[in-house]
Structure 1
Amino acid sequence: MSRFKRGAHVVDSRAGFRQEKEDCPVPSGLLKAARKSGQLNLSGRGLTEVPQSVWRLNIDTPEESQQNLSFGAADRWWEQADLTKLLLSSNKLQSLSENVKLLPALLVLDVHDNQLSSLPDSIGDLEQLQKLILSHNKLTELPLGLWRLTNLRCLHLQQNLIKNIPLDLGNLVNLDDLDLSNNHLMDVPESLANLKNLVKLNLSCNKLQSLPPAVSEMKNLRLLDCSQNQIESIPPVLAQMESLEQLYLRHNKLRYLPELPCCRTLKELFCGNNQIEVLEADHLKHLSSLSFLELRDNKVKSLPEEITLLQGLERLDLTNNDISSLPCGLGTLPKLKFLALEGNPLRAIRRDLLTKGTGELLKYLRSRIQEPDGGLKGEPKTAMTLPSQAKINVHAIKTLKTLDYSEKQEGSIPDEVFDAVDGSPVSNVNFSKNQLTAVPPRIMELKDTLADINLGFNKITTIPVDFSKLKQLLHIDLRNNQLTSLPMELEGLTKLRSVILSFNRFKSFPDVLYRISSLETILLSSNQVGVIDPVQMKTLNSLSTLDLSNNDIMQVPPELGNCTSLRALMLDGNPFRNPRAAILSKGTDAVLEYLRGRIPT
């Protein structure tokens, strides 16, 4: 084509672009790019309706094909890709056209934050659809066609006006994420039993008075949120849920803890803001695997001695109850790190002791454990303890499997401390608040049983490669040290669930953490981390808590929104501009949704 002819066509194409812009609020360049990528993001454009050119994107011949006589490799419109991802969130749409069926290859359709009051029945023709986001609209009912989407894996319907979910819900057998929160549901259908692949179910903020026994048949469900309903009791068959890890029952009308025999997987139970007055031993004995129990804002008057059955408990929130005294056995819980007691009329414990923190309070409770003859439990009755072991709690080693040599402000751990173990199986080590500059080498002697190690508040600068031999480790606390990196060999810690690295000197996110798939909690606040990799972060399918507050993150990658396993994401105190503080204050779900809406196509 001659130079002159090219110039002539430039004039014509501009005229065509002006005409399209008048008829269609979607730039032709965006549509052209969508034909190549198969993805179209029209979020936040103020659309009141979806232009026909979008629905007919893969059907109509593009306008530029009528204006050009020759095409480069980049302009072969006939080699277009089918549209697989369409984002229409944060517009002013009141309805969707029946022509949505003209995009049969769609895998993702996101229409959240609009004004939809209904959906076309033809949405059921999108047979390939895997993710449908309809949250924050004005839907009162759902079309029959929706229940034909049997390939759907993610369905979000939160923040609508839905009063009833039909039995047809059971047709969506491939769902793994279902959110029905913030609607007007009085009940949920028994057909939930068909959703064998469901991993997350959110029923919070509805008007449910009970749960159907069918819920127990969802064998893969890991998270069940029934907060802010009117539930008075939980059916015992819920214990048959073989994978349930997190159960949220806040703001209901419960009078007792749920009785969950055989539910050995439950790790977190949230029962705050109910009407619980008594903790029954029969209920506690079934919760031995719990790591977090929340009972704040109830009417609990006392804790039974059977609280010691919760051997895995790490966090216990009893804020704003009617507790006047504590059982001394509470001090023997080997993993308890956080105990909240504010707002209770505690009379038997001095006020100043309560302000010193969990560690001091538990130490005090342990010291009050009495033998029947009045002597302190665990004190030797003969001179069998060497003078050099006088500061070592041998009783804790033998009965609690805990080796505690903390708050001594020493630069090394004396050999006598390890000698006192004397072959006992130790699962917990606490060497915090000393002056250690390196990890004590003799810790490796405990590698077969050590599950929890606390080296916080020291001056440790490096972690040795041998640390990877502690194969049984579940929890590592390295806060307030001088670490700048972690060895890649730590990926061998395949059971590790939580790692605390706050107040160190990391300038980048430790790469090895991306490779430990078992991690559920990463606390990395108050460092100098500038960048995180959201693609690698998404591979941590068990990660529920991520604290990156007070670092140097200049930009939060939108793809972080795809890390949907996160239940707690802390980002405050970083220099980024978006998400704004108003979004951060709305909580983790709002932040993740905000980020997902800004993922570039």
Structure 2
Amino acid sequence: MNYAGRNRSNYRAVFKSRTQKDDDTELSESDIISARTSGQLNLSAKGLSSVPARVWHLNELTNEELKKLDMTLDCDEGKERWWEHEQLKILKLSSNSLTELDSRVQYLTELNVLDLHDNIIEDLPLEIGYLNKLRNLNLASNKIQTLPLNIYKLCELRFLDIANNVLKELDPGIGDLVMLEHLNLSCNNLTTLPVGMGYLVRLVTLDLSHNMLKELPPDIMSMRALKKLDVSVNQLQDVPPMGELRRIEVLMLHTNNLSTSPDTNGCTALCELHLGNNKISEIDVLSLESMGHLKTLILGNNKIEMIPEEIVQLCNLERLDLSNNNIVKVICSIPSCICFMPNLHTLLIDGNNIRNIRRDVIQCGTSRLLRYLRESMSVQDLGSNMMYLPFSKTPGQLPDKYALKNGKYLSLANQNLGEIPDSIAQDAFEAEVTSIDLSKNQFKEFPLSLFIVTTVKELKVACNRLQCLPDLVGDKFKHLQFMDISNNQLSSLPDSIAMLIHLREINLAYNRFVDIPECIYDVPGLEILIANNNKIEKIDVMHLSKLKRLANLDLSNNNIGNVPPELGNLKQLKYLALSGNCFKQPRHTTLSKSTEEILAYLRDRIST
């Protein structure tokens, strides 16, 4: 048993032999008076090897106490009032060294809560069954091998925690605990479950994790109130259809031996499905139809080879883990329209044999990856995935309200627009759009009407005719994480850009900047700065050093005449592009090396 992290006083009984008298002294007179007044007694972490004898007769007055007791109704404040005594309802004995529970526990007939967790108890007395008002029983982290049959007579029990013991089996009598709402049997040695489990129809949470279960009894599906079922880290090879668990919200089946996805068709309330570390080779398409509320889907460390297009029906999905599977080509094996899933903010695909996406794109995170997938979609992809896309693909046709609300994505790209109707901005506002694409149009000014859409996280206005951006950009788009304003006629940026504290990437390429705008240096979370093909003349290392998270810096094809050696001190840079400028040092042979080598070269040139 691991004693690390426990209170040292817990183990006075281990390192020094204790007598009943030693334990009795741990219950002070003030503890007794307090317990009689409140009905609560906390003897946790007292180093007890046994329960003080007075606990079992707490409200019985000794002769000495009778003499001291003031029997008058107007006794002084602070003195014990005999008529206000409460029966003991809460008894906490956790984190001690108790090896057994005294049979006299039966005298505590009013007990509601009994906490015995973190002891070394091996057996429980039959008399525990007399505590017919007990609602909460915590036996976690002991050495209990079997439960006495009388424990199943606790008909008022709502909470039972037997985690971290050495239980090998359960009696069918557990089905008699019909009022039970929370049951924790995790971290035991259970290999099977009794059929009587199905009678626990009021269970809300059931934790069976870290056992040796090979199957679940079919009647477990009778637990219609169940919201969380954890059977992770077992030896399950199959599970019965889960459709009857209409209220299930969290289903944890990771780290088992499942070869197929569980049948969750009918689990309409499901929010989290954990299937990682199994042997699943394909996803059950039929089950996806009923999981409209799903927010987390973990499929990492399986044998999945392809993802069905129907996965995009999970419009509320926020986290999708496909890491360490057998996916070879993302574009082929993951439907391209997955990049338009409106709420997806975490997509994990590392650990697969992906050949058509650069590793640096994957490492830049979900936002960059989804954008890459969008940009990689061919016309054929768009046509085949039309039914899943959250916006219209017909040239000249504006997206309708339903499309905006479903996809959280406003795309007006390549529509030859110079302005947009106010109604579109209003619809985008009501749909709480998070991504706006105005690329490849004729905008000379940024549409002011769009500033009402304050939920925007991605903004693309590339390939237009913008000469400036309004100052409202920083004030209204405070949640912005990605901004692409490349291929315009910009030579400056508004100071309010510094207010974009969530901005991670900005693309300034193909504009008319002669230097990097100072406001850029005040964006604390900036990770990627793309400023190639401008007219930038110098590198301001002092200001760049303020960008502590900057990992990608592209200054290629500018008018930079000198590369300051101090640039080598920006060791957080993972990618640095400087080619196509007019400086003589570093030479082309040095620039062709890795970023780490370029930075090392520059550091070596710093004067000492």
Match of 1:200 in 2: 205
Question: Are residues 1:325 and 2:355 paired?
Answer: no
Q: Structure 1 residues 115 and 379, CA, compared in 2 at 3 Å: closer, same or farther?
A: closer
1:259 Cα deviation from its structure 2 partner? 1.4
Unmatched segments (≥5 aa) in structure 1: 1-18, 386-392, 407-413, 445-452, 464-476, 481-501, 505-525, 527-601
Q: 2:264 corresponds to which letter in structure 1?
A: L
Does the aligned pair in 2 maintain the 1:334–1:428 contact within 8 Å? no
Looking at structure 1, the residues matched to 67 and 474 of structure 2 have their Cα atoms a distance apart, in angstroms, of 70
In the aligned structure 2, how far is the partner of 1:22 from the partner of 1:343?
56
1:204–1:374: structure 2 CA closer, same or farther, 3 Å change rule?
A: closer
Instruction: Decide which of 366, 374, 378 is 2:374's aligned counterpart.
Output: 366
Distance 1:69 1:128 in 2: 32
1:44 matched to 2:45:
yes
How many Å separate the matches in 2 of 1:503 and 1:43?
47
Residue 314 of structure 2, aligned match among 310, 324, 346: 310
Alignment correspondent of 1:95: 100
**What's 2:344 paired with?**
336
Q: Is the 8 A contact 2:275 2:298 kept in 1?
A: yes
Give the Cα–Cα distance (whole angstroms) in 1 for the partners of residues 480 and 404 of structure 2.
27
Of the structure 1 ranges 177-186 and 277-286, higher mean CA displacement relative to structure 2 is found in 277-286
Deviations 1:470-524 (A, max 9, x none): xxxxxxx9699xxxxxxxxxxxxxxxxxxxxx989xxxxxxxxxxxxxxxxxxxx
State the Cα distance separating 1:32 from its structure 2 match. Answer: 1.3
Aligned positions of 1:121-136 closer than 5 A: 121-136=126-141
> Paired residue for 1:243?
247
**Rounded Cα–Cα distance in structure 2 between residues aligned with 1:60 and 1:68:** 9
The answer to whether residue 169 in structure 2 is matched with residue 168 in structure 1 is no
- Percent pairwise identity: 35
Q: Which amino acid aligns with 1:34?
A: A
Deviation at 1:330, TM superposition (A): 1.5
* TM-aligned CA deviation for residue 235 of structure 1: 0.6
Aligned-pair CA distance for 1:164: 1.2
1:396–1:402 CA contact under 8 A, matched in 2: no
Q: What does the per-residue CA deviation read over 1:182-205, in whole Å, with 9 as the maximum and x for residues that have no partner?
A: 111111122222111110000011
Distance 1:400-1:123 versus aligned 2 partners, 3 A rule: same
Secondary structure of 2:36's partner?
helix
Q: Does 1:144 align with 2:168?
A: no
Q: State the Cα distance separating 1:138 from its structure 2 match.
A: 0.4
Equivalent residues in 2 for 1:204-283, closer than 5 Å:
204-236=209-241, 238-283=242-287
Give the drift of 1:278. 2.2
For the pair 1:420 / 2:428, whether they are aligned, the reply is no
- The TM-score with structure 2 as length reference comes to 0.63
> Are positions 1:181 and 2:186 aligned together?
yes
How many residues were matched structurally?
427
User: Contact conserved, 1:90 with 1:112, CA < 8 A, in 2?
Assistant: yes
Which amino acid letter does the alignment assign opposite residue 65 of structure 2? E
1:151 is displaced (CA, Å) by: 0.5
**SS of residue paired to 2:368:** helix
Distance 1:261 1:369, change over 3 A: same
Contact 1:62 1:77 in 2 (8 A): no
Shift of 1:234: 1.4
Equivalent pair of 1:150/1:172 in contact (CA under 8 Å): yes
Question: What does residue range 3-152 of structure 1 map to in structure 2 within 5 Å?
Answer: 24-61=25-62, 63-67=64-68, 71-73=75-77, 74-152=79-157
1:155 corresponding residue in structure 2: 160
Residues 379 and 211 of structure 1: CA distance in aligned 2, closer, same or farther (over 3 Å)? closer
Which TM-score applies when normalising by structure 1?
0.64
Tell me, in whole angstroms, the C-alpha distance in 2 between the residues paired with 1:375 and 1:313.
23
Q: Which one-letter code corresponds to 1:187 in the other structure? A: T
Aligned to 2:598: none
CA deviation after TM superposition for structure 1 residue 349, in Å: 1.2
Tell me which residue corresponds to 2:3: none
Asked if 1 retains the 8 angstrom alpha-carbon contact of 2:162 and 2:186, the reply is yes
Report Cα offsets for 1:307-351 as digits up to 9, x if no partner.
Answer: 223222111012222211223122122221110122221111122
Q: Contact 1:401–1:424 at 8 Å: present in 2 too?
A: no
Structure 1 pair 110–203 and aligned structure 2 pair: CA distance change class (3 A): same
Q: How many angstroms apart in 1 are the aligned matches of 2:284 and 2:311?
A: 10
Distance in 1 (alpha carbons) for counterparts of 2:48 and 2:423: 73
SS of alignment partner, residue 429 of structure 1:
coil
Q: Distance in 2 between matches of 1:62 and 1:267?
A: 61
1:306 positional shift? 2.5
